[in-house]
Amino acid sequence: MAPSALRGGAIFFPPLFMRLRYARLSTAGPVRPINEDWLDFWESPDPLVREKQGSVAILADGVGGYDHGEVASHLAVETAIREFQAAPADTKPYTLLRRMFAMACTEVHEKAVSGANLGQRMATTMVAAIFRDGAVCVANVGDTRSYFIRQKTIRRLTTDHIATSVPVKLGLMLEREAMASPKRGELTRSVGTEAFCQPDFSTQLLSHGDFVLQCTDGLYACVLDEEMREIICRSHPYDACKELVALAEKRGSDDNISLQLIEVRNWEQVAQSARTALGADATPKKAVVAAAAAVSGADDLGPGKLLDGRFEITDLVARSNMASIFKATDRTTGLSVAIKVPLMALESDIAGFERFQREEEIGARLNNPAILKVVKVDGPKSRPYLVMEFLEGKTLAECISKRKVFSEGEAVAYASQICDALEYLHANGIAHRDLKPQNIMVCTDGSLRLYDFGIARVERARRLTFVGLTPTLGTPDYISPEQVRGKRGDHRSDVYSLGAILYEMVTGSTPFEGESPYVVMNARVTGDPEAPRKLKPELNPALEEVILHALERDPRNRYQSAALMKVELDDLTRVEITHRDQRLRAPQPWKKHGHMAILVTALALSWIALFFALYFIISHKHH
């Protein structure tokens, strides 16, 4: 962005005039009869007022166990919005947020103790965000969360006011233990329980393409932060909301599920810069087109354009915050191809761009009918891009979502094709490590293609550093137990993931399900899935044996190659029935009691140490 002036030798940037793209979705969820959440977004229709006043997004979740949670959340949001609208435009964000929470708390509390509601308790959690001057200021009370998302990172902007927050902050309890703890639902702050409340505050500078997500525990208790980031960055905001709610419902969320997603679009600022660069005679329409090109990072690509004298762009297939995918005609061969072009923002993100490069390097080495073919481009490129064969079809995930359960014959046929692809990869020293239905294309002719080798591991390649569940670790529903434990995984990890996919195809359920991804991952490392024939009694016992063999927790007890698994899939009469279904071990719950004893002791010692430290300081100053 070009500076507008020099002040005292320093470059001065004008405040960003943010345009926000907004999407929201709220549902009672699969269990609750009433939706006790309420959410709203407001900004002035006058652009000049909006530039000074900003925009506001608020989400509230009525406290369970109290009366009329839906009334409390609705009243709190409405009151806070009114306070925002009535405040002078130059009111400082933190001052305004404090007033909004104070008024909301007073209104909810008075509603609870007045008239017909006398003696009833009414409360809600709430998070509010004010977007102004190129930043977002956030305040929250309770456990409703706000996240900041930029490219490959996601960061929480709020602190949960719950009983397990302090132990997690002190390192006395792991986050995954806190999520499974019975004290997870015990709030230490809420709006309306008393006549006043104390919100926490945070600020985050924003730029084009950033996202701010607000959501209730009905979502984040069932969907990992990294999963939220990945879905949001590759989808339109409204599509992302739908996909996230569907994922939470699939994993058995037992609470209301609500979220609102705000995407920062600095169109006014960029369009003005574009118009200045184009000259005074530039029309507003031309300036907007130039601005769109500038922020997309693909200003020279589009239908009718020729890339490097070889690929004629015919259509834009998809666009996310990471890359654009175009359909093009290869003038060398006359065939249709797909071209994946990373956005400039990804090129400046070292980890993300390395993943893109790895996908191209590995894809160029492979040549197998069951693996998406990467087209080699000789000579220098004018920009980074990846050329692939163009496929007509749907992902296996889309097919599973639509059909739920496959016939045994079709599921076995698909699994056998995947075995072929995996055996070829493993023979070339490559482990996929993120095998899942979303990375398998079912073509219109019935054939399959594996793709997305961004986190694939090549034997003898340099080590990759990772901590926690990140894009380098795979996907929770299909990840192997050894990857959950933090190991890199190998070809046997792919066999496990295939077993999980086959399990889902024939039963309609993933091998492990629970109220949160942490519970699911714990189940995967401490126990075995339910026997497939308990979910589908008519299933062939031999096929059940194959599935459970692939899903052995210890890699040494699985099929030691995809080829061995394929042999038995192709001829189930050769399968030796060892009654694995009778040796399954139920997953073990988190052992909380020992942790709580340690926690209480540690907290007591911490307070004692703090007391003596303060006593020493005061005594030292006195002397």
| Contact call for residues 146 and 127 (beta carbons, < 8 A) | yes
Q: In whole angstroms, what is the distance from residue 270 CA to residue 64 CA?
A: 45
- The pair of three-digit structure tokens given for residue 466, joined into one six-digit string: 């990772």
SS3 label, residue 544: helix
DSSP string, 284-323: HHHHHHHHHHHHHT-TT-STT-EETTTEEEEEEEEE-SSE
- State the chain's mean pLDDT as an integer: 80
Residue 362 pLDDT exceeds 90 = no
Tally of CB atoms within 10 A around 219? 26
496 pLDDT tier (thresholds 50, 70, 90): very high
pLDDT 10s digits, 291-334: 444 444 444 577 888 998 899 999 888 766 567 889 999 999 99
Among the ranges 388-397, 398-407, 408-417, which has the highest mean pLDDT value?
Answer: 408-417
Residues 184 and 174 sit within 8 Å (Cβ to Cβ): no
Taking residues 260-278, report their average pLDDT. 63
37 secondary structure, DSSP code: E
Cα–Cα distance between 452 and 390 in angstroms, integer? 14
Pick from 3-12, 175-184, 255-264 the range whose average pLDDT is largest: 255-264
Q: Are 388 and 340 in contact (CB under 8 A)?
A: yes
Q: Please determine, for residue 623, whether its predicted confidence score (pLDDT) is greater than 60.
A: no
Residues 6+ positions from 464 with CB-CB distance below 8 Å: 455, 457, 472, 488
DSSP 207: -
Domains 297-389 and 393-582 alike in fold: no
Determine the average pLDDT of the residues in 189-214: 92
For residue 266, pLDDT over 70 is answered with no
Beta strands in 28-91 (DSSP E): 37-43, 55-62
pLDDT 10s digits, 63-103:
866 668 899 999 999 999 999 999 999 899 999 999 999 99
- Collect contacts of 362-368 with beta carbons under 8 A, ≥24 apart: 362/430, 362/453, 362/456, 362/458, 363/388, 363/451, 363/453, 365/428, 365/430, 366/424, 366/425, 366/428, 366/430, 368/420, 368/421, 368/424
Map residue 480 onto helix, strand or coil.
coil
CATH class label, 15-159+187-265: alpha beta
Domain ranges of the chain: 15-159+187-265, 267-296, 297-389, 393-582
Q: How close are the terminal C-alpha atoms of the chain, in Å? A: 58
Q: How far does Cα 468 stand from its chain's mean position?
A: 14
Per-residue burial over 517-535, b if 16 or more Cβ lie within 10 Å, else e, is bbbbbbbbeebbbbbbbee
Task: Note the Cα 361 to chain centre separation in Å.
Answer: 26
Domain 393-582: CATH superfamily is Transferase(Phosphotransferase) domain 1 (1.10.510.10)
Q: pLDDT: is 354 or 260 the higher one?
A: 260
Residue-wise pLDDT tens digits, 330-356 = 999 999 999 988 765 554 455 556 667
User: What is the number of other CB atoms lying within 10 angstroms of the CB of residue 209?
Assistant: 19
pLDDT (tens digit per residue) in 213-256: 999 999 998 999 999 999 999 888 888 999 999 999 988 888 99
Per-residue pLDDT for 435 more than 50? yes
Instruction: At 358, list the tokens.
Output: 């790895």
Between CA 209 and CA 216, with CA 211 as vertex, the angle to 5 degrees is 165
Nearest to 371 by CA among 461, 291, 285, 435: 435
What sign results for the dihedral spanned by CA atoms 481, 487, 488, 489? negative
Q: How far apart are CA 103 and CA 87, in angstroms?
A: 12
Cβ 106 vs Cβ 122: under 8 Å: no
- Taking the whole predicted model, whether its pTM rises above 0.75 is answered as no
CA–CA distance, 373 with 489 (Å, rounded to integer): 24
Distance CA(104)–CA(516), nearest Å, equals 31
Q: Do residues 157 and 148 make contact, with C-beta atoms less than 8 angstroms apart?
A: yes
Longest dimension (CA), the chain: 90
pLDDT of 15 > 50? The answer is no
The dotted CATH code for 297-389 is 3.30.200.20
Number of Cβ within 10 Å of residue 31's Cβ equals 12
The label of the residue with tokens 């394929």 reads 566
Put the strands of the sheet holding 257-265 in their side by side order: 19-27, 257-265, 211-215, 145-150, 153-156
